[in-house]
Amino acid sequence: MLKRINTPSIVASDHLSVVRRAIPSDLDIEITKVIPRLNEGGLFVKYSRRPDKDDGDIESAVREHLQEHPMRPWFNPLSRVDVGLVLGKPWIEDMYRSPSQRLKVEFLPSSSGLPPVEMTQEALYSLFRRYGKLKDIERQPSTSPITPRFAYVEFSRAKVAVLAKCCVHGLTILEKDGGGKHGTILKITYERRFKGAWIMDWLFNHPRIVIPALAALIAAITVIIFDPIRTFFVKMKIKSWLNAEGTARGVWQWIRKQVNRANILSFSRQPSETNLLSAVWEDRKDDIVQLRTWLTENSGTFIVVQGPQGSGKRELVLDQALRGRKYKLVVDCKPIQEARGDARTISVAAAQVGYWPVFSWMNSISSFFDMVAQSMIGTKAGFSETLDAQLGKIWQNTAFALKQVALENHNKDKDSQLTDEQYLDAHPEERPVVVIENFSQRTGDKSLVYDKVAEWAATLTTANIAHVIFLTTDVSSRSKSLSRALPNQVFRTISLGDCSLEVGKRFLLRYLEREEASRSKLEEWLGNLEGCIAAVGGRLTDLEFMAHRIKTGETPSRALDQIIDDSASEILKIYIFDADRSSRDWTREQAWYLIRELADADDGFVPYNRIMLSDLFRENLEGKLQSLEEAELITIITTNGRPSGVKPGRPVYHSAFRRLVGDGVLRSRLDLAILWQLIGIENKNVKKYEDELQLVGALNLGKPPPQLEPRLRWVLQKLSKSQVKIDQYERESAELGKFLLDYHNPTSTN
């Protein structure tokens, strides 16, 4: 191998061959001895020459030869062999002394009894600079009592320090070179710094290595120490050990059970809320059974329960379908969505799954350190993590905890010989259930949060770690984040709507039968109860609100009026007179137009094409209606995948719309605002047509050519139609303005 790599440009391990290659063949000297210094990485070469040759000329010739024919070690091709003439008397020793770029130069007398002379910095520089670049020359303080006197000479590289030490050690400095009258002998040794400050100096002088290493160390400590703690707390959350509400409910149920057994109290005349809602659950029995059936299947369970707010999605899933389910985890996306800032988002997301401890405040400090590191080393050190990465850690740790919970009975089961994946696939009843509430990706929401939740849910289902149930009011969410997470899987969907009028009637009757004060008036109220239920609709929240008002002693008619009044006030505040108009994508005129059209429709249904042809919705029709649907003012009805009509967002809104339209002053004000907006639209059209006519007139064509006549007729017809509309809108505006002026007259009637 040595012979194979023994080429003129590569130095091998044969010392003699190195010497022969370094010295020119025509130099006429004889090599007498080669002394290798392996610990210093060099060779001492002894030679004999003719008396007429000079040692300095020999050194110059060898140096020039090495410059023309450089020799590089095979283990370090960036370095090359150098040469120096030995001026002193080198000390050949085999002690374990490692070379260093810092030399200690001691000044000794040429003979005993004579005082040594300490060389100046200039003299030391002249002596040592020939061997390489010097970093510093540090003389011994004049007040130091240490003898012999010494100085430190530090080179830029250890290689040149070795060359200088081997060549100068034992050299006698004469008087003309600064060595004093009797001369001074130099004793040179390697000096290494073993001071406490050396570590700090190295840390601060090598930030490119230290800062990333420190970041990696912190990450390793976090994984080793905190991740098991976080997994433990997530498991406690899944098992409801930390859920005070669930624990209190379990204790209360046990107390009630013991009391009923002892016949101390009787609850026969006071049915519970569950019995009160039994009419609703009987109507949705098929959905409950279907959910429970899906949770017993072996394949990945990815369920979407969709329905408007107040339709009872949460109660149906948690209180009915998952009743008796041992392990479940509920994640509410709404507080995560409403969190301000990355730190708050991380903290809220961690709280949803019991991920603790979480140092969300460290993200700001880590970002500051990253900024400092970037200014120092040019790149980020990795102290801070993006919101995406930190959310990914939270969901990953939660998935690990869910898997541990699902495998708790693995070793106890008769199928203990199965692998974890086989066991989870064979026992779907052991998998926890993850319920994700308020999953509704709307305009302006944090899409990153929903995307990470969808990806995490897809991982849970594909790996058979848990069953996942999404509760959403947004139909489009299934075609966005969920579709991207599981593009090749069909979602199992349950759509919940409003209850039928018959179910709503049974709900109220059971509630009235529950109250002793209401039972005496039940026959009196039966006459108008059906009409009240028809006006309120089948939304559970509205039915419960009406039932609670009846409980306070109000009649159904009075309760209905109060619900309609509250809904009307809510509509005015949110959709009409909202002060912050920059946060919404529609105008109050567009919202009022839909309210007026829906109120005038007997069945509360307006065809989609009628809205599409309105001048108020000429621009971005679909975006405006979608925003109003997300704000829950309307509900878009689809037929065969296309929008066919619009209905009120809640059934009770139809009655509220009619009450608002019945207010003559309010209707006149808002109709007048619509007319002003329509007049502005038509004035813009007229201006556009007039500009086109003015452009044609500026051509000075005299009689228009036949090619322009169809266009001019079209422009004139459009101009005439716009002016007719403006005249009509002006007349209607004048009538509405006269009504508003006369309204304050006591003799006028509404």
The pLDDT of residue 13: 59
**pTM summary value:** 0.64
- Whether pLDDT at 521 is above 70: no
The pLDDT of residue 3: 59
Dump pLDDT digits (tens) for 658-714.
999 999 999 999 999 999 999 999 999 999 999 999 988 887 777 778 888 899 999
The pLDDT of residue 245: 44
Dump pLDDT digits (tens) for 379-395.
554 455 678 888 999 99
| Domain parsing of the chain, residue ranges | 2-73, 102-192, 222-239+271-495, 501-571, 588-742
Q: How many angstroms separate the CA atoms of 303 and 242, rounded?
A: 27
For residue 518, the cross-strand partners are none
CA 409 to chain CA centroid, Å, is: 35
CB 396 within 8 A of CB 432: no
Q: How many angstroms separate the CA atoms of 649 and 642, rounded?
A: 18
- Whether pLDDT at 268 is above 70: no
The pLDDT of residue 292: 92
- Local structure of residue 708 (DSSP, 8 states): T
- Whether pLDDT at 520 is above 70: no
The pLDDT of residue 469: 95
The pLDDT of residue 124: 93
What is the residue-averaged pLDDT of the chain?
83
721 band by pLDDT with thresholds 50, 70 and 90: very high
Provide mean pLDDT across the span 311-332: 91
Who wins on pLDDT, 194 or 553? 553
Provide mean pLDDT across the span 233-238: 94
The pLDDT of residue 18: 84
121 band by pLDDT with thresholds 50, 70 and 90: very high
The pLDDT of residue 265: 35
Q: How far is the first Cα of the chain from the last one, in angstroms, to the nearest whole number?
A: 112
Dump pLDDT digits (tens) for 409-442.
888 767 778 889 989 988 999 999 999 998 875 5
6 band by pLDDT with thresholds 50, 70 and 90: low
Who wins on pLDDT, 649 or 254? 649
Provide mean pLDDT across the span 584-613: 92
What is the rounded radius of gyration, in angstroms, for the C-alpha atoms of the chain? 46
Dump pLDDT digits (tens) for 61-87.
999 998 888 888 777 778 888 999 999
The pLDDT of residue 377: 59
Q: Which element (helix H / strand E) includes 469?
A: strand 467-472
The pLDDT of residue 699: 79
Q: How many helices (H) and strands (E) does the chain have?
A: 31, 17
Coil, helix or strand at residue 305: strand
Q: Which element (helix H / strand E) includes 666?
A: helix 664-697
Q: What DSSP line would sit under 483-529, residue for residue? A: HHHSTT-PPEEEE--PPPHHHHHHHHHHHHHHSHHHHTTHHHHHHHH
The pLDDT of residue 708: 87
Query: CA nearest 627: which of 603, 657, 649?
Result: 649
For residue 642, the cross-strand partners are 639
523 band by pLDDT with thresholds 50, 70 and 90: low
Q: Is 692 exposed, middle or buried (0-12, 13-18, 19+ CB in 10 A)?
A: middle
Provide mean pLDDT across the span 150-179: 91
Who wins on pLDDT, 376 or 612? 612
**Percentage above 90 pLDDT, the chain:** 39
CB 473 within 8 A of CB 306: yes
The pLDDT of residue 86: 94
The pLDDT of residue 748: 45
369 band by pLDDT with thresholds 50, 70 and 90: low
The residue to which tokens 């008397």 are assigned: 89
241 band by pLDDT with thresholds 50, 70 and 90: low
Q: How many angstroms separate the CA atoms of 587 and 383, rounded?
A: 46
Preceding peptide of 357 cis, ω within 30°: yes
Who wins on pLDDT, 630 or 527? 630
Who wins on pLDDT, 206 or 639? 639
- Whether pLDDT at 406 is above 90: yes
Provide mean pLDDT across the span 567-593: 86
What's the one-letter identity of residue 263?
Answer: N
Q: Which CATH superfamily does the domain covering 102-192 fall into? A: RRM (RNA recognition motif) domain (3.30.70.330)
The pLDDT of residue 195: 56
The pLDDT of residue 261: 44
- Whether pLDDT at 567 is above 90: yes
Provide mean pLDDT across the span 214-218: 75
CB 386 within 8 A of CB 428: no
Q: What DSSP line would sit under 611-656, residue for residue? A: HHTSGGGSSSHHHHHHHHHHTTSEEEEEETTEEEEEEESSHHHHHH
- Whether pLDDT at 356 is above 70: yes
Q: Which element (helix H / strand E) includes 214?
A: helix 207-221
The pLDDT of residue 585: 83
Coil, helix or strand at residue 56: helix
For residue 105, give every residue at least 6 positions away whose Cβ sits within 8 Å of its Cβ, in sequence order, or none: 119, 124, 150, 151, 152, 153, 186, 187, 188
Provide mean pLDDT across the span 20-41: 87
The pLDDT of residue 342: 84
- Whether pLDDT at 568 is above 60: yes
Provide mean pLDDT across the span 483-512: 80
262 band by pLDDT with thresholds 50, 70 and 90: very low
Strand 302-306 and strand 467-472: pairing?
Answer: parallel
